[in-house]
Amino acid sequence: MSLPKGFTPADQLGDVKGQKRSNGWMGSRTYVDGGAYPTAADTTVFNAVGMEGAAAGGPHLARWFAHMMTFTAAQRAAFSGAAAAAPAAAPAKAKAKKAAPVEEEDDEDDLDDMFGDSDEETEEEAQAKQDAIDRIAAAHNAKKEASRIAKGKAKRRDINSYVFDVKPYEIETDLETMAQDFKKITCNGIKAWGVEHKLIPVAFGIKKLRIQVIVYGDDGDGVTIGNSFGEDELFDLMNELHEDDIQSIDTHSFTKM
């Protein structure tokens, strides 16, 4: 499996220098290829780096590794160059919905249901595993931060990653234009928007936009701003640009980087 241009060469992923370089790459990406879903490149790096290498590389690489651990070995092995197997299950649900007999007056409710997430129990189990990994990573990062401060180095700013699903009212809504408009939003709390975004089929020709934004979790002096700038404020900024086009915005994932 070839890795993205500019990423650490595969033969250097076992070295601390290469792992630190990979950490910088993951600072603005959820997955190695920069997309909304994991690919075979993530599996390649996961196997080459290992847990100790991810911890040695830095907080971004450790965050990515912890997220990858929420997938089973079988799921990681099934990642292709396009997307993970799990998200591909969405169209199957839509097909099942269409085949089920429904009364005419329930059509609108059925459409709303199709926008929902599937396999809630599996997602809850994955989230519980992610929470456990996050606690371990947080303890590790706290130890490293204490060491930095003891050496007189500046405190690192907290960074959080949100991945949002934006659902439009109409099939005709130009989601590509919407994505580019969102990426032009700048303010003190936003570090960067994800390099890539994805349009995901939902039902009856409608697609939703999946887009990532990375924000600061403190004001630069160690004061948490999560309650004053976060999910709700991002929703407001996005709605200001395309309020007439957006049916809803859901948080697909949240990760402390």
DSSP one-letter code for 191: E
Continuous H helices in the chain: 16-26, 40-57, 59-68, 73-78, 89-99, 107-114, 120-150, 175-183, 231-242
The rounded percent of the chain whose pLDDT value lies above 70 is 64
Q: Do 37 and 87 form a contact (C-beta atoms < 8 A)? A: yes
The rounded percent of the chain whose pLDDT value lies above 90 is 16
The answer, yes or no, to whether residue 248 has pLDDT greater than 60, is: yes
pLDDT at 99: 46
The answer, yes or no, to whether residue 165 has pLDDT greater than 90, is: yes
Write down the mean pLDDT value for the chain: 75
- Least Cα distance to 257 among 92, 111, 66 occurs for 66
Q: What mean pLDDT comes out for the span 156-183?
A: 88
Chain centroid to CA 86: how far?
A: 14
pLDDT at 217: 72
The answer, yes or no, to whether residue 24 has pLDDT greater than 80, is: yes
pLDDT at 136: 60
* pLDDT tens-place string over residues 175-225: 999 999 999 998 878 888 888 899 999 888 889 999 999 888 754 444 444
Determine the residue type at 172.
E
Q: Which of 23-27, 75-79, 114-118, 139-143 has the lowest mean pLDDT?
A: 114-118
- Least Cα distance to 119 among 96, 86, 161 occurs for 86
Q: In b/e form, how buried is each residue of 228-256, taking b as 16+ CB within 10 angstroms? A: ebbeeebbebbeeebeebbeebeebbebb
* pLDDT tens-place string over residues 52-93: 888 888 888 988 888 888 888 888 888 864 444 334 344 444
What the chain holds in terms of domains, given with CATH numbers, is: 10-79+120-147 (no CATH), 88-118 (no CATH), 157-256 (3.30.70.60)
151 confidence band (pLDDT: 50, 70, 90): low
The answer, yes or no, to whether residue 144 has pLDDT greater than 90, is: no
pLDDT at 170: 87
- Looking at the DSSP assignment, which residues form a beta bridge with residue 253? 163
Q: What mean pLDDT comes out for the span 154-158?
A: 61
The answer, yes or no, to whether residue 241 has pLDDT greater than 90, is: no
